[in-house]
């Protein structure tokens, strides 16, 4: 199992656990719905932030690899040019 799937499963489990806890807590239905809406929004914002950070990091790594490949290609071309002259 990949760590991404595990983390996603843990987050989903935590969200479900909190919502079940709110549902069985003695409170008015209107207050309970407000709490669920608020917590759901907070978790969504947190998950969105983590996904954005993940994709920013991934984009940087892809860019770094691309730059390294470009450097190696230029070096290889230079070596080929030296040999063919």
Instruction: Give the model's confidence band at 1: pLDDT under 50 very low, under 70 low, under 90 confident, else very high.
Output: low
Contact status, residue 36 vs residue 19, Cβ threshold 8 Å: yes
Contact status, residue 32 vs residue 25, Cβ threshold 8 Å: yes
Which parts of 1-85 fold into alpha helices (H)? 3-24, 29-84
Convert the pLDDT of each residue in 3-32 to its tens digit: 777 877 888 888 888 778 777 777 777 887
Torsion sign, CA atoms 50, 54, 60, 63:
negative
In the chain, where the domains are located = 3-84
pLDDT for res 7: 79
Percent of the chain with pLDDT over 70: 99
Convert the pLDDT of each residue in 26-52 to its tens digit: 777 788 788 878 888 888 888 888 888
């Amino acid at each position: 199992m990949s760590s991404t799937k595990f983390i996603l499963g843990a987050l989903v489990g935590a969200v479900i656990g909190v919502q079940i806890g709110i549902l069985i807590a003695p409170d008015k239905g209107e207050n309970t719905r407000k709490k669920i809406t608020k917590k759901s929004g907070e978790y969504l914002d947190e998950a969105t932030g983590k996904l954005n950070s993940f994709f920013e990091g991934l984009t940087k790594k892809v860019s770094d690899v691309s730059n390294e490949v470009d450097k190696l290609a230029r070096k290889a071309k230079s070596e080929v040019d030296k040999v063919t002259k």
